[in-house]
Each structure stands twice: as structure tokens, then as C-alpha cells.
């Protein structure tokens, strides 16, 4: 029988979310119900709520979550009630050509939850299962591949960040780009994703890790997370500084972790011959980037897309947990504010104003 829960519903683009009582279906075969204990605010949720990527309404957003497994559907193995888990938006079958090649984030399978939303209004009208998760709610139902069981001694607010911000930034460096030790790296944007790209570069043994942002407080955070240079374009010529630091050549990799056209277009000025631009942050639909294709070809440069850090949930989250427990990955330091569900609009507004590394809704 459907269960009544509370959720933050997006009914109008660019309007505050509405806290409502909704219904959540029981998990079907291969599905899991999780009682959400923490869900971080990601800029992807904000772009959706502002209509930047289109989509149907009403919708329950939220996709960076952690909680306690409550019920498992038929055929679910490796997950049981009472487990603590990270809930991701990555839904994978493990068998399609993309999954078989290791690209779970590109899985082409159409799951039952893609055909029907588990969330509905009290009157039975379906609500869109935002980003395949709908975690701005007390509970979620997701496909079993979206679940990663974690140790019970990790705080839920810290664990929730592993679901998106950490695997996206860290994985862009270690999975997508696979930077070699000694590489020179620049990270444009020092929010939650950017700081995790900095952490990924540090773990991979980068020589220079240049953090670039217009906010000095975020640059200060980047230095605490491992950046060797902290550069504010408002206070100096970033290109000149990077060229001086790299013997006039430029960095090997630039990770653009914000979805701003100016950041994307400007990345090419920082890379060396044979260098790579890695696009991590996603702008609203319709934003087009510009580059010089002749120079790109002549200098053997590359532009690479990175979706969710090319993550494999069952492999990457346990690995990141091990780094955290060994003191080699900062999670607690990423949590800026904790908000109740009733205060979610304040959490979103704070994030939009750039005041937070990650704000987290706690239950």
C-alpha cells in the first residue's frame, strides 16, 4: 500500500518549493525503499527548479542523499533493511553495451521506474520522480543499482555528498581524465564539485593544482582541500600566473566545474599543447561554447565531457569511503549548513547566493 510522506514539490519553475504530504509506492522487484536522513542541495536541482533543463511539473527533486534501507523488493541482493546507504541517481543494468564497457552513467536500459513514478499526490496524480531519485522527501524508492551500502559510523550528512558532488568532481579527475602523477591541473569553480576535483587531483599526485574562482572564501577553502595556487580573476591575470608557474606552457588539464559559458569559453587559454579541457559543470539547455578548432587540432588538444565523474557506484563509493576513513578525503568540511525540510527554500537561496559549499537538508 502507498505510504504517506512529506516532500518538497516543485509546482512552478522559479517559484519556492511547496512542502506537501504525498504518497510513495512500495518497492517493486529490484527496487529499494530508503528512509532519507540527509539530502544535499546540488546546483542541478536548482537548474531543474528554475526550468533551465525543461521537464514536466509537478516534480520532487533531490538526488544527493543518504539514509537507512527500510524495505527491499523481490530479487534484491546485497542490500537489506537496516543498512545505511548512499542513494545516487545512477541507474545501471550492468549488461547493456555501455555498462559492459564500464560506463554505467550512460546505461541505456529502460527500468520500470523510468515508466512509472513511485511518487503521487494524495489524490493519486503522479509526481515526476526528479533525477530518478526524488530525495527532497522523507523516503525514496529507487532501483537497486542506485544504492551503495556504507559503514554505519559515517554521519549521514557527510555520506550524502558522496552521491553526487564527490563522485562527480573526484571522478572527473581520476576516472574520466585519469590524470597521471605529476600533471599540472587547474579547476575552474570551487564549489562542492570543484573542491572534490581538487581532492581528486591531490589524490592522483598532481604537481600544480590551481583553483580559480571569483569568491575569495571559496579559494581559501580550495587551499585547505589541497590547491597549491588560489587565483581570483578579479585580482590578477590568471593566464599569466599559470604560464609563469608552468614554464610558459600552461596546465595539462582544466576542469570546468561550473556551468557558466564564460568559464567554458575561457578554459582553452590555460592549457598546454596536448592538454585537455574537461567539462564537468552542466549549463542550462541552449548554452553554446566557443573554441578555435584549428588551434585544437594543431596543438593536439582535447575537450572531454564528464558525466557524474564516470562513476561506478559499487566500486567508487566504497573506495571514497575508505579514503575518508583514512583521513585522505574531506567530507565533513564540505557541509556548510544543515536545514530542516520545512526550511529547504532557505537552503536553496543560500546556495544560489554562493554562501555554501554544500547545504544539506537533514531529517
Q: Which CATH architecture has domain 169-307?
A: 3-Layer(aba) Sandwich (3.40)
Q: Count of alpha carbons within 13 Å of 239, Cβ hemisphere only?
A: 8
pTM (predicted TM-score): 0.96
Return per-residue pLDDT of the chain as tens, 363 residues. 899 999 999 999 999 999 999 999 999 999 999 999 999 999 999 999 999 999 999 999 999 999 999 999 999 999 999 999 999 999 999 999 999 999 999 999 999 999 999 999 999 999 999 999 999 999 999 999 999 999 999 999 999 999 999 999 999 999 999 999 999 999 999 999 999 999 999 999 999 999 999 999 999 999 999 999 999 999 999 999 999 999 999 999 999 999 999 999 999 999 999 999 999 999 999 999 998 999 999 999 999 999 999 999 999 999 999 999 999 999 999 999 999 999 999 999 999 998 889 999 999
Residue 313: how many other CB atoms lie within 10 Å: 24
- Find the helix or strand (DSSP H, E) in which 159 lies: helix 156-160
Give domain limits for the chain: 3-163+331-362, 169-307
CB 160 within 8 A of CB 39: yes
Q: Is the peptide bond before 58 cis (omega within 30 degrees of 0)?
A: yes
CATH fourth-level superfamily of 3-163+331-362: Medium-chain alcohol dehydrogenases, catalytic domain (3.90.180.10)
Amino acid at each position: 500500500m502507498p505510504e504517506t510522506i512529506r516532500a518538497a514539490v516543485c509546482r512552478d519553475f522559479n517559484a519556492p518549493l511547496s512542502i506537501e504530504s504525498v504518497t510513495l509506492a512500495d518497492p517493486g522487484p529490484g527496487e529499494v525503499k530508503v528512509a532519507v536522513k540527509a539530502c544535499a542541495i546540488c546546483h542541478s536541482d536548482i537548474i531543474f527548479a528554475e526550468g533551465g533543463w525543461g521537464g514536466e511539473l509537478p516534480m520532487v527533486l533531490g538526488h544527493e542523499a543518504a539514509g537507512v534501507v527500510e524495505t527491499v523488493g523481490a530479487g534484491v541482493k546485497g542490500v537489506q533493511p537496516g543498512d545505511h546507504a548512499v542513494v545516487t541517481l545512477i541507474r545501471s543494468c550492468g549488461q547493456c553495451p555501455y555498462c559492459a564497457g564500464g560506463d554505467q552513467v550512460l546505461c541505456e536500459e529502460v527500468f520500470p521506474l523510468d515508466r512509472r513514478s513511485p511518487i503521487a499526490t494524495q489524490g493519486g496524480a503522479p509526481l515526476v520522480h526528479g533525477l530518478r531519485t526524488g530525495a527532497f522527501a522523507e523516503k525514496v524508492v529507487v532501483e537497486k543499482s542506485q544504492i551503495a551500502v556504507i559503514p554505519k559510523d559515517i554521519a549521514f550528512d557527510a555520506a550524502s555528498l558522496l552521491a553526487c558532488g564527490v563522485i562527480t568532481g573526484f571522478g572527473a579527475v581520476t576516472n574520466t581524465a585519469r590524470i597521471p602523477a605529476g600533471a599540472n591541473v587547474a579547476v575552474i569553480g570551487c564549489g562542492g564539485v570543484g573542491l572534490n576535483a581538487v581532492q581528486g587531483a591531490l589524490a592522483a599526485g598532481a604537481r600544480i593544482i590551481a583553483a580559480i574562482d571569483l569568491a575569495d572564501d571559496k579559494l581559501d577553502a580550495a587551499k585547505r582541500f589541497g590547491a597549491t595556487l588560489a587565483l581570483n580573476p578579479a585580482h590578477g591575470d590568471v593566464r599569466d600566473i599559470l604560464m609563469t608557474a608552468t614554464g610558459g606552457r600552461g596546465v595539462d588539464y582544466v576542469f570546468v566545474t561550473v556551468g557558466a559559458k564564460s568559464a567554458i569559453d575561457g578554459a582553452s587559454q590555460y592549457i598546454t599543447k596536448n592538454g585537455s579541457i574537461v567539462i564537468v559543470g552542466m549549463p542550462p539547455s541552449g548554452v553554446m561554447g566557443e573554441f578555435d578548432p584549428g588551434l585544437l587540432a594543431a596543438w593536439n588538444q582535447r575537450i572531454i565531457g564528464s558525466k557524474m565523474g564516470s562513476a561506478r557506484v559499487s566500486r567508487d563509493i566504497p573506495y571514497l569511503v575508505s579514503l575518508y576513513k583514512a583521513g585522505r578525503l574531506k567530507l565533513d568540511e564540505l557541509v556548510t549548513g544543515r536545514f530542516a525540510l520545512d526550511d529547504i527554500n532557505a537552503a536553496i537561496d543560500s546556495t544560489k547566493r554562493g554562501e555554501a559549499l554544500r547545504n544539506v537538508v537533514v531529517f
